[in-house]
């Protein structure tokens, strides 16, 4: 394939995978979402705050799938509005506006995040998530305070 056609193919393939990811995860379909990841895929939620327990790297489709299930066991998705911002070669960038409810405490958080999704051979090889770290960290401190019986004045 000539270089231009090869690039066009990769961009189209990347767009298709990113669109499918957004579609499946928007309805929290773990099985379909996980199937989009390569067997040795790498995923990381980037935070600079130790009080955020869901941060860090995950290696492999099986571990990513387990992480997605753990996420759904802890959070109810109220809103998950994803917008594909760009597709460049093998990389898609997605902006998400969300509102989640913490299942145990019933507290809600709304915020934004960015995802950078890298596609290789028709599967996601890497997914990086970037949240509003300060907002998430403050919310996680609130959850811990509630769990420790501290009255924060919230109803």
Q: Where is mean pLDDT largest: 19-28, 52-61, 103-112, 142-151?
A: 19-28
65 pLDDT tier (thresholds 50, 70, 90): very high
- H runs (alpha helix) in 27-149: 30-35, 61-74, 133-147
Q: Shortest CA distance to 124 belongs to which of 44, 70, 48?
A: 44
CATH topology of domain 3-147: Nuclear Transport Factor 2; Chain: A, (3.10.450)
pLDDT at 28 over 90: yes
With 0.75 as the threshold, say if the pTM is over it: yes
pLDDT at 53 over 50: yes
């Amino acid at each position: 394939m000539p270089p231009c056609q090869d690039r066009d193919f990769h961009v189209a393939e990347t767009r298709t995978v990113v669109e499918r990811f957004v579609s499946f995860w928007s309805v929290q379909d773990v099985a379909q979402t996980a199937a989009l990841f390569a067997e040795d895929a790498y995923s990381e939620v980037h935070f600079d705050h130790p009080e955020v327990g869901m941060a860090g790297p995950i290696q492999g489709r099986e571990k990513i799938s387990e992480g997605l299930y753990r996420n759904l066991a802890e959070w109810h998705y109220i809103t998950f509005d994803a917008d594909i911002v760009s597709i460049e070669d093998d990389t898609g960038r997605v902006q998400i506006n969300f509102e989640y409810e913490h299942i145990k405490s019933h507290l809600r958080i709304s915020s934004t995040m960015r995802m950078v999704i890298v596609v290789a051979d028709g599967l996601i090889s890497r997914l990086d998530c970037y949240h509003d770290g300060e907002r998430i960290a403050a919310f996680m401190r609130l959850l811990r305070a509630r769990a420790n019986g501290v009255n924060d004045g919230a109803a």
